[in-house]
Amino acid sequence: MAQLNWSEPARRDMEEIIRYYESLSHKTALFYSEEILNAGDRLMLMPEMGPKEPLLEHLDRNYRYVLVLRRYKLIYLYENETCAILMVWDCRQTPKRLKDSDRFES
């Protein structure tokens, strides 16, 4: 089983998403929170289940993603038995923002 590590920026992404849904409905916020966290938990069991992130292929590292409810991507890096979640990406954003993000190393 892999170790799971949420980066601080990914935690902030998650908090922002939940805060948004909380403004609409507590039940909805709880639903999205559970779905995102469950996707992270699945990575501990199958850390290589996610495909490579096509928008980050220009970088030298093996960034992967897991899709959550067709709306969010958990973008992560699996190395040395550790699954590091680096970003919770809202897929409705322009792809250029992900490609140009400064959160990822080459």
* Domain boundaries 3-99, corresponding CATH code: 3.30.2310.20
- Residue 14: pLDDT over 80: yes
Say whether 68 sits in a helix, a strand or coil.
Answer: strand
Question: What is Dmax (Cα atoms) for the chain?
Answer: 41
Percentage of the chain surpassing pLDDT 90? 85
Give per-residue pLDDT as tens, 58-100.
Answer: 898 999 999 999 999 999 999 999 999 999 999 999 998 888 8
The answer to pTM > 0.85 is yes
Question: Closest Cα partner for 76 from 6, 3, 11?
Answer: 6
- Residue 106: pLDDT over 70: no
Mean pLDDT of the chain: 94
What local confidence, expressed as pLDDT, does residue 27 receive?
97
